[in-house]
Amino acid sequence: MTLVTEQTATVLIVDDNSANLGVLSDALDQVGLEVCVAKSGKIALERIKYVIPDLILLDIMMPDMDGFETCNHLKANPVTKDIPVIFMTAFSDTANKVKGFEVGAVDYITKPFNQQEVLSRVKLHLKLHDLSVKLEHKNALLEQKVGEISQAYQDLQEMQLKLIQSEKLSSLGQMVAGIAHEINNPVNFIYGNLLHANEYTQEVLNLLHLYQEEYPHPTPRIQTELDEVDITFIREDLLKLLKSMNIGARRIRDIVQSMRIFSRVDEANMNAVNIHEGIDSTLIILNHRLKSKPEYPGIEVIRDYSQLPLIDCYAGQLNQVFMNIIANAIDALDEYNQQRSWEAIKQQPSRIEIRTTMIDKNQVAIHIADNGPGINQEVQEKLFEPFFTTKSSGKGTGLGLSISHQIIVEKHGGCLSCKSTPGQGTEFIIQIPINQKVSRVA
């Protein structure tokens, strides 16, 4: 799709009168427009096979093929159907004007010509056509990118759910980071171009308003269309629609940022990070599992964060530990809610509490607790054993807590423990050093 401006636009003048051709050609040429001429409709149709104009000034009364028939041929051709056509005529009767608009004209110029009027109308319709083409171009790109993102985001959700349920968390970081990277560029494209789309839309609406002010008495056909489409509603709703798209794009961008924080696949070495960001990103990824369901209300998450310094850790691996423990808490609460009535759940809503504290000058603790059914002592003793699971077949491999324990103890020199009483919920406590170098020396 080619975008034009009035400085580079080409105007085709079709008139069997040489004097009219000369006057119009000189006037348009003086304002920097490229001009082509044709002395009949047939010649014009032949000429556009080689040079596609951006606007056509078309005389109505011509021998062999009049302006109406010529316009019909133009509008029937997919290549030329969108070129704006302005009719030129010595007749000012309503019947001819209505017929002209019916065959596809955008305006009328009455002979004898007023050069300023001709130039104003030509410039206006070139500008309207240019803005319309730009808007169509942007909309096509946005629709394409929105489709790509919707499909990619749907694929991401399905893959995340499968991986969370099967507890194959060792590859989750790689997967999330890869998809986040692929989504990031089209999201930024949409988010950036929505601003331009809004500007172009506003310009088109302003020009339309100006046109209505300058020509307050539209033809019957235009008035009929105005009555049917409710232009006032469209003006207001179009801007609201663009605003909603902007909010949606910003939401997707925030989710992508959370996924990038969660995966941190590019951080192979230990770095000082804000662990609260990792917890928050994990909660965003699991947000769909925290929402209410038809059978029971959603799960409330309470965050109580202390002022913590940056923590030396393998951020991607630590986020996988958060993911595993929080996902297990959600599983336990979901299973518990299936055994309770709606009234019982309302009296004691499902809740996950996440609390961070400083233990001493070089150690922090992350407490993740739920108010589910709790775990008996016999099961607690086996929680961190490889392949041990209390879940039904196909819902868990028994590796999640074992891998988490290995990440905390062996990779970070910390401690992962569980405290639970049947009927009173479960609490996992993660303790890790703030500074790994100090910890290793000690």
Contacts of 371 (CB under 8 A, 6+ apart): 333, 348, 350, 351, 424, 425
In this prediction, what percent of the chain has a pLDDT beyond 90? 14
Same domain, 250 and 287: no
pLDDT at 152 over 50: yes
pLDDT at 1: 42
pLDDT at 94: 80
pLDDT at 287: 85
Same domain, 406 and 322: yes
How sure is the predictor about 357, in pLDDT bands with cuts at 50, 70 and 90?
Answer: very high
Mean pLDDT of the chain: 80
Looking at 51, 85, 113, the residue that finishes a domain is 113
DSSP H or E run through 369: strand 363-370
Q: Is residue 118 domain-resident?
A: no
Contacts of 260 (CB under 8 A, 6+ apart): 177, 180, 181, 184
Token readout for 324 is: 């595993």
How do strand 34-38 and strand 55-59 relate by DSSP bridges? Answer: unpaired
pLDDT at 138 over 80: yes
pLDDT at 394: 53
pLDDT digits (tens, 9 = 90+) for 281-312: 888 888 888 888 877 788 999 999 999 999 99
Residue range 218-230: average pLDDT? 79
Same domain, 134 and 258: yes
pLDDT digits (tens, 9 = 90+) for 34-49: 888 998 889 889 888 8
Length of the chain: 442
Compare 384 and 322 and report the one with higher pLDDT. 322
Q: Is residue 200 domain-resident?
A: yes
Q: Indicate the number of domains in the chain.
A: 3
pLDDT digits (tens, 9 = 90+) for 383-421: 777 666 766 655 555 667 877 888 898 888 999 999 998
How sure is the predictor about 227, in pLDDT bands with cuts at 50, 70 and 90?
Answer: confident
Same domain, 142 and 250: yes
- Structural domain including 381 reads 271-441
- The listed range with the strongest mean pLDDT (154-158, 236-240, 333-337, 377-381) is 333-337
Given a contact cutoff of 8 angstroms between Cβ atoms, the answer to whether 327 and 286 are in contact is: yes
Token readout for 125 is: 């319709």
Reported as half-sphere exposure (CB side, CA atoms, 13 A), residue 250 has a value of 8
Residue range 233-245: average pLDDT? 79
Q: What is the C-alpha separation between 278 and 38, in angstroms, rounded? A: 70
pLDDT at 165: 39
DSSP H or E run through 418: strand 415-420
Looking at 113, 135, 153, the residue that finishes a domain is 113
Longest dimension (CA), the chain: 104
Q: If 0-12 CB within 10 Å is exposed, 13-18 middle and 19+ buried, where does residue 290 land?
A: middle
Compare 207 and 226 and report the one with higher pLDDT. 207
* φ and ψ at residue 310, rounded to 5 degrees: -65, 140
Looking at 113, 136, 166, the residue that finishes a domain is 113
DSSP H or E run through 365: strand 363-370
